């Protein structure tokens, strides 16, 4: 995937050029591209005068960052304690089958990324599944199929 | 006077008075809609939209107002509406109800029965919010204002007397007197460890240094806990006011709010609150002409549980990998950028203005000998009234679960309550009469923690719960201490083996020994408490471990390798529902014939159990 390097530059320059800006810059990059493009990380390293290995170290430590591009659709299943006791693991497994992708990964065709998260803080309405930013409350195993169908339908109309 | 800078204490007092009387003079009916993250997820924004449209359509703007507030705590009833002046409480409101609410209730004064709350079990309806069982035993001194405030409007906070504690502190209290007052109140850290807040402040006050920092720990990472999110979303100025008072007492001129990345609404509200407080001169240089300067910055977390630990959080704010530092030196002496730093949790900061306003003596009357005030818990899991509850310390677990929480759904048997998140433990039915305070929970093998309270019933497997927390911890261990990095991994492997039927009796002792090693040899709280979920389940639910090991069975029907799905012939109506949902073609049988499940083909996905309307699927 090719990106305009001046865009990276703009994002980096928005912050003070010090080490303390590393996480905010990476967060902005992640928000814009859904992952951290390698070229951008090199530029962050030069701008902040921090070795690239330290940038990679931070980028791989925090869950919010991804070093690989994310899929067009992002499905996140909450597996916090409250969702867990209400059956979230079975829902996650069902999504793995329906979407044909392992949790924590993006499907080969780049359509879907399936992730789990340890608590979104809306335990009352669990099990919670977030699909492209939209919260689905009190989901069951069968909702995995319904949500997958809905996404596939969207894909078709887009084509 | 809106948006003009407040230049003196008199300006502030006048502002508070003005906004309070504006509130008192409100003649309109006010529809208060709860719209925190949970409310929004359940559609409260659509309800607000349809209410506003209905009011516009009928030109009733001068008679009816809609107020968009943060969370009222009663998540189970979301979206809910409180209708003032009578505090009528409507639950699970849908957009299509808007017309009826305006027409029948506001204009004709009639109560809509179908929107009233019904107590679990008795089905009795209640009109006013405060009379509902869920709210009756609560003491909402920190969360209570959420109902009265539009969180993005600073004037609403003034209207409930907000920022009056600042006026009091700047006018009549020295920093030392503020610290004394907090000490006297008995307030202890609400983030987990329960360290006395006043003492912590005193350390930072006394620490040498021309530059000091305070930090608000809003990195609420315990799965199953969302107290802090709700307070920041619903009443961000309360937290800011607490921080300003703390900064004044300690002598800090800069503060950080380290906020969890998964909380977009809270981030938005706290950011707006800071901007509004700056505009009015409640943050910045020479606050209210007192000569006291204080600025607040936001630092967004990036998803690492260990960053809730003070020194790891400091590393993260400085821009690095969030790994803990060796202590001492403690942050109060050498913290952020090597300067004295005081870190308190969101709820702790939220308690500070109340103590200043009402006095330490008033505050210290609430609670038990060593635990004062109230505590907010997120009461979740297998419970009827899921929600955020604020209760006085010393209340029993039974009161919280059965009186406030309304008991377990579907009349299932209570098995355990988990408090304290991954650092806490699971307490069984015989501990239900335990009064909640810091000491009693530790003695019982759990901790107060930040306030997660997850209720578990007969369908929850306690070995699986231990495995769940270990899986979380092995993933979140930062890796700095070998005992934690390898220990949590090894503990998980052993428990995993037990849940798949490959465990040995000797494993239980090994778990205990390894737990002690992880606890003793780890540097920070994560490792030191990592074994609690294992130890507490071994202590109270050893039988379940033994059944997994000896009989190769999971009594709760959770551990996949040890269970089978079958049809209960007497209950099966032959409706084909389970056959339709089965993804692996394991169900056979024709319409109106008793179905059966082929164990070879069954992948134990649970779809048939969820779909069956006749309780005809058995898991054992």
Looking at chain B from residue 114 to 173, which residues have their Cβ under 8 Å from any Cβ of chain A?
A: none
What residue in B sits closest to A122 (Cα-Cα)? B38
CATH architecture, domain defined by B564-619: 2-Layer Sandwich (3.30)
Q: Is the dihedral of CA B165, B169, B175, B180 positive or negative?
A: negative
Residues of A within 8 A of B37 (CB-CB) are: 120-122, 135
- Calculate what percentage of chain A has a pLDDT beyond 90: 79
Please say whether the beta carbons of B481 and B525 come within 8 A.
no
Q: Does B262 touch chain A (CB under 8 A)?
A: yes
Task: State whether B321 and A23 contact (CB < 8 Å).
Answer: no
A62 band by pLDDT with thresholds 50, 70 and 90 = very high
pLDDT of A118 higher than 70: yes
* pLDDT tens figures, B273-295: 999 999 999 999 999 999 999 99
What residue in B sits closest to A127 (Cα-Cα)? B381
Looking at chain B from residue 18 to 37, which residues have their Cβ under 8 Å from any Cβ of chain A?
A: 37
Q: Which helix (H) or strand (E) holds B618?
A: strand B617-619
pLDDT of A86 higher than 70: yes
| Antiparallel, parallel or unpaired: β A105-106 and B64-69 | unpaired
pLDDT at B2: 53
The structural domains of chain A, ordered by start, are 5-61 (no CATH), 73-158 (3.40.30.10)
Query: B151-363 belongs to which homologous superfamily?
Result: NADH-ubiquinone oxidoreductase 51kDa subunit (3.40.50.11540)
* pLDDT tens figures, B133-151: 999 999 999 999 999 999 9
Peptide bond into B4 cis (omega under 30): no
Q: Does B217 touch chain A (CB under 8 A)?
A: no
Task: State whether A123 and B226 contact (CB < 8 Å).
Answer: yes
| Short-list A81, A148, A77, CA closest to B471 | A81
Q: Taking the CB of residue B527, how many other CB atoms lie within 10 A of it?
A: 28
pLDDT of A158 higher than 80: no
Task: State whether A142 and B75 contact (CB < 8 Å).
Answer: no
Structural Rg of chain B based on CA atoms: 26
Task: State whether B583 and A63 contact (CB < 8 Å).
Answer: no
Domain topology for B23-138: Glutaredoxin (3.40.30)
Q: Which helix (H) or strand (E) holds B240?
A: helix B236-250
pLDDT of B515 higher than 70: yes
User: CA–CA separation, B101 vs B342, rounded Å?
Assistant: 48
pLDDT at B1: 44
For B585-610, what is the HEC assignment? CCEECCCCCCCEECCCCCCCCCHHHH
User: CA–CA separation, B354 vs B463, rounded Å?
Assistant: 42
B157 band by pLDDT with thresholds 50, 70 and 90 = very high
Residues of B within 8 A of A87 (CB-CB) are: 606
Longest Cα–Cα distance of chain B, Å, equals: 84
B28 band by pLDDT with thresholds 50, 70 and 90 = very high
Longest Cα–Cα distance of chain A, Å, equals: 51
Task: State whether B610 and A122 contact (CB < 8 Å).
Answer: no
| Chain A closest-CA separation from residue B455 CA (Å) | 8
User: CA–CA separation, B592 vs B44, rounded Å?
Assistant: 43
| Chain A closest-CA separation from residue B405 CA (Å) | 12
Q: Where are the domains of chain B?
A: 23-138, 151-363, 374-457, 462-551, 564-619
Mean pLDDT of B477-499: 97
Residues of B within 8 A of A63 (CB-CB) are: 302-304
Which phi and psi angles does B589 have, rounded to 5°? 130, 150
Mean pLDDT of B221-225: 86
B265 band by pLDDT with thresholds 50, 70 and 90 = very high
CATH: 1.10.10.1100, 1.10.3720.10, 1.10.510.10, 1.20.1440.230. Which one for B462-551? 1.20.1440.230
- Calculate what percentage of chain B has a pLDDT beyond 90: 91
What residue in B sits closest to A23 (Cα-Cα)? B319
CATH architecture, domain defined by B374-457: Roll (3.10)
Could you tell me if residue B123 is left (phi over 0), alpha (psi between -120 and 50 degrees) or otherwise beta?
left
Looking at chain B from residue 401 to 440, which residues have their Cβ under 8 Å from any Cβ of chain A?
A: 418, 421
Interface A:B, Cβ pairs < 8 A: 148
User: CA–CA separation, B420 vs B346, rounded Å?
Assistant: 16
Task: State whether A121 and B456 contact (CB < 8 Å).
Answer: no
Task: State whether A62 and B581 contact (CB < 8 Å).
Answer: no
User: CA–CA separation, A126 vs A119, rounded Å?
Assistant: 10
Which range is least confidently modeled, B35-49, B303-317, B451-465? B35-49
Mean pLDDT of B96-118: 94
Q: Which of B317, B320, B378 has the CB atom closest to A58's CB atom? A: B320
B261 band by pLDDT with thresholds 50, 70 and 90 = confident
Q: Does B107 touch chain A (CB under 8 A)?
A: no
User: CA–CA separation, B425 vs B541, rounded Å?
Assistant: 12
Task: State whether B607 and A63 contact (CB < 8 Å).
Answer: no
| Chain B closest-CA separation from residue A109 CA (Å) | 23
Task: State whether A121 and B454 contact (CB < 8 Å).
Answer: no
User: CA–CA separation, B149 vs B151, rounded Å?
Assistant: 6
| Antiparallel, parallel or unpaired: β B414-419 and B387-392 | unpaired
pLDDT of B499 higher than 80: yes
| Short-list B147, B346, B148, B337, CA closest to B238 | B346
Please say whether the beta carbons of A72 and A112 come within 8 A.
yes
Looking at chain B from residue 441 to 470, which residues have their Cβ under 8 Å from any Cβ of chain A?
A: 452, 454, 456, 460, 465, 468-469
pLDDT of B192 higher than 90: no
Interface ipTM: 0.92
Task: State whether A19 and B224 contact (CB < 8 Å).
Answer: no
Mean pLDDT of B506-511: 97
| Chain A closest-CA separation from residue B296 CA (Å) | 16
* pLDDT tens figures, B529-569: 999 999 999 999 999 999 999 999 999 999 999 999 999 99
pLDDT of B336 higher than 60: yes
User: CA–CA separation, B361 vs B366, rounded Å?
Assistant: 9
| Antiparallel, parallel or unpaired: β B29-34 and B81-84 | antiparallel
Mean pLDDT of chain A: 92
Q: Is the dihedral of CA B580, B585, B586, B592 positive or negative?
A: positive
Residues of A within 8 A of B318 (CB-CB) are: 19-20
Would you list the DSSP string of A5-41?
HHHHHHHHHTS-SSGGGHHHHHHHHHHHHSS--HHHH
Mean pLDDT of chain B: 95
B120 band by pLDDT with thresholds 50, 70 and 90 = confident
CA B173 to chain centre: 33
* pLDDT tens figures, B346-387: 999 999 999 999 999 999 999 999 999 999 999 999 999 999
* pLDDT tens figures, A137-150: 899 999 999 999 99
Task: State whether B220 and A123 contact (CB < 8 Å).
Answer: no
């Amino acid at each position: 995937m090719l990106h305009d390097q001046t865009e990276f530059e703009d994002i980096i320059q928005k912050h003070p050029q010090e080490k303390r800006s590393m996480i905010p810059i990476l967060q902005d990059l992640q928000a814009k591209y859904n992952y951290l493009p390698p070229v951008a990380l090199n530029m962050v390293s030069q701008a902040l005068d921090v070795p690239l290995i330290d940038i990679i170290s931070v980028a791989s430590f925090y869950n919010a960052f991804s070093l690989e591009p994310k899929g067009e659709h992002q499905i996140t299943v909450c597996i916090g304690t409250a969702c867990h006791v209400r059956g979230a693991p079975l829902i996650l497994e069902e999504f793995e089958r329906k979407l044909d992708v392992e949790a924590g990964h993006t499907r080969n065709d780049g359509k879907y990324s399936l992730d789990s998260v340890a608590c979104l803080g809306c335990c009352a309405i669990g099990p919670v599944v977030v699909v492209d930013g939209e919260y689905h409350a009190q989901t069951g195993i069968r909702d995995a199929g319904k949500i997958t169908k809905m996404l596939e339908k969207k894909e078709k109309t887009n084509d | 006077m809106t948006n003009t800078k407040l230049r003196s204490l008199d300006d502030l007092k006048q502002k508070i008075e003005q906004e309070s009387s504006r509130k008192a003079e409100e003649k309109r009916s006010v529809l208060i809609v709860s719209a925190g993250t949970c409310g929004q997820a359940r559609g409260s924004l659509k309800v607000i939209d349809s209410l506003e449209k209905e009011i516009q359509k009928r030109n009733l703007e001068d008679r009816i107002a809609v107020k968009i507030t943060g969370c009222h705590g009663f998540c189970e009833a979301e979206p809910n509406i409180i209708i003032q002046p009578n505090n009528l409480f409507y639950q699970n409101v849908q957009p299509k109800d808007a017309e009826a609410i305006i027409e029948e209730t506001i204009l004709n004064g009639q109560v809509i029965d179908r929107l009233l709350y019904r107590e679990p079990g008795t089905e009795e309806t209640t009109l006013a919010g405060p009379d509902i069982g869920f709210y009756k035993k609560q003491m909402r001194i920190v969360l209570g204002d959420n109902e009265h405030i539009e969180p993005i409007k600073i004037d609403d906070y003034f209207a409930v007397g907000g920022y009056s504690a600042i006026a009091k502190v700047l006018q009549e209290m020295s920093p030392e007197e503020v610290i004394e007052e907090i000490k006297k109140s008995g307030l202890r850290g609400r983030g987990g460890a329960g360290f006395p807040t006043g003492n912590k402040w005193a350390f930072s006050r006394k620490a040498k240094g021309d530059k000091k920092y305070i930090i608000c720990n809003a990195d609420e990472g315990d799965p199953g806990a969302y107290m802090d999110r709700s307070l920041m979303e619903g009443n961000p100025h309360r937290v800011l006011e607490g921080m300003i008072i703390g900064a004044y007492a300690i002598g800090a001129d800069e503060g950080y709010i380290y906020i969890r990345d998964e909380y977009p609404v809270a981030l938005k509200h706290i950011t707006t609150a800071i901007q509004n407080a700056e505009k009015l001169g409640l943050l910045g240089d020479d606050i209210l002409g007192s000569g006291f300067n204080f600025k607040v910055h936001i630092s967004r977390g990036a998803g690492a549980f260990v960053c809730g630990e003070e020194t790891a959080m400091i590393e993260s704010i400085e821009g690095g990998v969030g790994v803990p530092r060796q202590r001492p030196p403690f942050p109060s002496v050498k913290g952020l950028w090597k300067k004295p730093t005081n870190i308190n949790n969101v709820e702790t900061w939220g308690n500070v203005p109340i103590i200043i306003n009402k006095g330490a003596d008033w505050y210290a009357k609430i609670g038990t000998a060593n635990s004062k005030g109230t505590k907010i818990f997120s009461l979740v899991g297998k419970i009827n009234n899921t929600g955020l509850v604020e209760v006085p310390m010393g209340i029993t677990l039974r009161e919280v679960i059965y009186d406030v929480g309304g008991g377990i759904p579907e009349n299932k048997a209570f098995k355990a309550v988990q408090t304290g998140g991954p650092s806490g433990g699971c307490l069984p039915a015989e501990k239900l009469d335990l009064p909640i305070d810091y000491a009693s929970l530790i003695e019982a093998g759990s901790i107060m923690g930040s306030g997660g309270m997850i209720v578990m019933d007969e369908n929850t497997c306690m070995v699986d719960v231990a495995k769940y927390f270990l899986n979380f911890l092995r993933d979140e261990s930062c890796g700095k201490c070998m005992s934690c990095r390898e220990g949590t991994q090894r503990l998980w492997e052993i428990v995993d083996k037990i849940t798949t039927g490959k465990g040995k009796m000797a494993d239980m002792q090994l778990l205990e020994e390894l737990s002690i090693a992880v606890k003793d040899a780890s540097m920070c709280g994560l490792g030191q408490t990592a074994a609690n979920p294992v130890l507490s389940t071994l202590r109270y639910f050893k039988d379940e471990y033994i059944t997994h090991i000896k009989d190769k069975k999971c009594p709760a029907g959770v551990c996949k390798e040890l269970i089978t799905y079958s049809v209960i012939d007497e209950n099966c109506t032959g409706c084909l529902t389970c056959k339709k949902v089965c993804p692996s073609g394991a169900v056979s049988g024709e319409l109106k014939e008793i179905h059966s499940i082929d164990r070879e083909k069954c992948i134990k996905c649970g779809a048939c159990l969820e779909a069956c309307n006749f309780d005809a699927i058995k898991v054992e």
